[in-house]
Structure 1
Amino acid sequence: MTGQRSWSLSAPALALFGVLLVVPLIMTFVLSFNSFDFYEGISNDISLANYKEVLGDSYFYEIFARTFAIALATTVICAIIGVPQAYFLNRMTPFWRSVMVLVTLGPLLISVVVRTLGWAILLGNKGVINTALTDFGLIERPVKMMYTSGGIVLALVHVMIPFMVLAVWASLQRQDPATEAAAESLGAGPVVIFRRVVFPQVIPGILSGSLIVFSLSASAFATPAILGGRRIKVVSTTVYDEFMNTLNWPLGAAIAMLLLLAVLVIMVSWNRLVERRYSEVFA
Structure 2
Amino acid sequence: MSAPAILLCGVMLLVPLLLTVILSFNVFDADTGPKAGTFTLEHYRAVLGDPYYYAVFWRTFWISGLVTLICIVVGAPEAYVLNRMKKPWRSIMLLVVLAPLMISVVVRAFGWSMLLGPEGLINGALAMFGIGPFKMLYTEIAVVVALVHVMLPFMVIPVWTSLQKIDAGVVNAALSLSASPTTALRRIVLPQIMPGILSGSLIVFGLSASSFAIPGLLGGRRLKMMATLIYDEYLHELNWPLGAAIALLLLLANLVVMLGWNRMIERRYKKALG
Q: TM-score, normalised by structure 2?
A: 0.96
Question: Is the counterpart of residue 252 in structure 1 residue 247 in structure 2?
Answer: no
> Is 1:7–2:5 an aligned residue pair?
no
The aligned counterpart of 1:130 is: 123
Question: More deviation in 13-22 or 201-210?
Answer: 13-22
Counterpart-to-counterpart distance in 1, 2:16 and 2:107: 27
The 5-angstrom pairing of residues 109-120 of structure 1 reads 109-120=102-113
Match of 2:154 in 1: 163
Separation in 2, partners of 1:188, 1:97: 27
Deviations 1:142-175 (A, max 9, x none): 2010111111000000000001000100111111
Listed as ranges, the matches of 1:83-162 within 5 Å are 83-134=76-127, 136-139=128-131, 141-162=132-153
Q: Share of identical aligned residues, percent? A: 56
CA shift at 1:64, angstroms? 0.3
**Pairing partner for 2:187 from 196, 209, 222:** 196
Q: Which amino acid aligns with 1:190?
A: P
Q: Report the secondary structure of 1:94's partner residue.
A: coil
- Return the offset for 1:18: 3.4
Residue matched to 1:39: 31
TM-score (norm 1): 0.93
**CA apart distance, 1:66:** 0.1
Q: Deviations over 1:205-227 (max 9, x none)?
A: 10000000000000000000000
- Structure 1: gaps (5+ residues): 1-5
- The amino acid that maps onto 1:272 is R
Distance across 1 between alignment mates of 2:57 and 2:130: 36
Deviations 1:35-91 (A, max 9, x none): 212123212311211111100000000000000011000000000000001011111
Greater mean alpha carbon deviation, residues 183-192 or residues 214-223 = 183-192
Aligned match of 2:66: 73
* 16, 21, 27: which one aligns with 1:24: 16
The residue that corresponds to 2:216 in the other structure is 225
3-state SS of the aligned residue for 1:192?
Answer: helix
* Aligned partner of 1:237 among 209, 215, 228: 228
C-alpha contact 2:26 2:39 (8 A) present in aligned 1: yes
Structure 2 counterpart SS, 1:39: coil
Partner of 1:3: none
Segments of 5+ residues of structure 2 without an aligned counterpart are none
Provide the aligned C-alpha RMSD in A: 1.3
- The corresponding residue for 2:55 is 62
Distance apart, 1:128 and its partner CA: 1.2
8 Å Cα contact 2:191-2:272 kept in structure 1: no
Give matches, 1:269-280, under 5 Å: 269-280=260-271
Amino acid at match of 2:84: R
Give the aligned partner of residue 282 of structure 1. 273
1:208 is aligned to 199
Letter in structure 1 aligned against 2:171: E
Amino acid at match of 1:22: L
Q: Measure how far apart 1:184 and its partner are.
A: 0.6
Cα separation, 2, equivalents of 1:177 and 1:82: 21
SS at match of 1:202: helix
Across the two proteins, how many residue pairs are aligned to each other?
273
**How many angstroms does 1:110 deviate by?**
0.6
In structure 2, how many angstroms separate the alpha carbons of the residues matched to 1:17 and 1:83? 32
SS at match of 1:146: coil
Higher mean C-alpha displacement, 120-129 vs 18-27: 18-27
Q: Distance in 2 between matches of 1:207 and 1:271?
A: 7
